[in-house]
Amino acid sequence: MIAEDFFVTENNQDLKQNWTRHREGVVRAARGTQLTAKSWMTEAPLRMLMNNLDPEVAENPNELVVYGGIGRAARNWECYDKIVESLTQLNDDETLLVQ
């Protein structure tokens, strides 16, 4: 997988970047011992990402803001969805690079 396939670049003029910034709903990480990813090696960062967007912790979770007014968990919801999808499908011998 190539990172450019998943992310909108800063220079991209596509309006898609703006309409995916806000989403209603609640993100909550899985709890317990049941895996949602292929292994604990990828389940751990997946749960950490989702826990950062838990409404009890995040500053503005619907806009992906986790702290400090501008710190985002991902550039937009499309990128967030691709990160989650990648983490759930990643094998132990693979690495996910997020810029």
Domain annotation covers residue 77: yes
The parent domain of residue 62 ranges over 40-90
pLDDT band per the 50, 70, 90 thresholds, residue 71: confident
Residue 62 CA neighbour count, 13 Å, CB half: 5
Domain annotation covers residue 25: no
Strand partners for 60:
65
Report the distance separating Cα 46 and Cα 84, nearest Å.
Answer: 7
Maximal CA-CA distance, the chain: 43
Domain annotation covers residue 5: no
The residue among 5 and 45 whose pLDDT is bigger is 45
The residue among 99 and 36 whose pLDDT is bigger is 36
Number of domains in the chain: 1
Domain annotation covers residue 23: no
% of the chain with per-residue pLDDT over 90: 60
Domain annotation covers residue 46: yes
> Which one-letter DSSP state was computed for residue 62?
G
Domain annotation covers residue 8: no
Count the Cβ atoms, other than its own, within 10 Å of residue 31. 8
